Amino acid sequence: MAAPTEPAVGPGGRRRAGQGPPPGCRSSLSPERLALAAIELADAEGLAAVSMRRLAASLGVGTMTLYYHVRDKDELLDLMWNEFLGGHLLDDIPADWRTALTEIARRIRQSFQRHPWALGVAVRPALGPNKLRYLEQYLTVASRITDDPDEQLRIIHSVSDLVVGCTLRELSGQAYRDPDEPAGDHNDDPAPMLEPQPGFDAIVAAEELPRLQSLRTAGCRLLTPRFEQALGWLLDGIEAAHPGARPAPPRPVEAATPTPDLVGTAATTRMHPKKGA
Partner DNA sequence: CTAGTCCTCGTACGGTGTACGACGGCTGCT
Partner DNA sequence: AGCAGCCGTCGTACACCGTACGAGGACTAG
Which residues between 64 and 103 bind DNA (CB under 7 A)? 64-65, 67-69, 72-74
Asked whether position 230 contacts a second copy by CB under 8 A, the answer is yes
Q: Which helix (H) or strand (E) holds 227?
A: helix 227-241
Asked whether position 3 contacts DNA by CB under 7 A, the answer is no
Asked whether position 99 contacts a second copy by CB under 8 A, the answer is no
Q: How far is the CB of 271 from a second copy (least distance, A)?
A: 16
Asked whether position 262 contacts a second copy by CB under 8 A, the answer is yes
177 binds, among a second copy, DNA, none (CB under 5 to 8 A by kind): none
Asked whether position 163 contacts a second copy by CB under 8 A, the answer is yes
Please give the full DSSP string across 150-219, using - where no structure is assigned: HHHHHHHHHHHHHHHHHHHHHHHHTTS--TTS---SSSS-----S--STTHHHHHHHHT-HHHHHHHHTT
Site string for DNA, 38-67 (x = CB under 7 A): -----------xxxxxx------xxxxx-x
Q: Looking at residues 110 to 149 of the shown chain, list those that interact with a second copy (rule: CB under 8 A).
A: 119-120, 122-129, 132-133, 135-136, 139-140, 143, 149
Among 23, 184, 199, 276, contact with a second copy (rule: CB under 8 A)? 199
Q: d(Cα 201, Cα 227) in Å, to the nearest integer?
A: 28
160 binds, among a second copy, DNA, none (CB under 5 to 8 A by kind): a second copy
Q: Looking at residues 6 to 35 of the shown chain, list those that interact with DNA (rule: CB under 7 A).
A: 25-29
Q: Which residue, 187, 41, 181, is CA-closest to 115?
A: 41
Could you give the dihedral angle defined by the CA atoms of residues 52, 56, 61 and 63, in that order, rounded to the nearest 10 degrees? Answer: 20
**CB-count exposure of residue 261 (10 Å: 0-12, 13-18, 19+):** middle
CA atoms within 13 A on the CB side of 105: 29
Q: Given the rule CB under 7 A, which residues bind DNA?
A: 25-29, 49-54, 61-65, 67-69, 72-74, 269, 271, 274
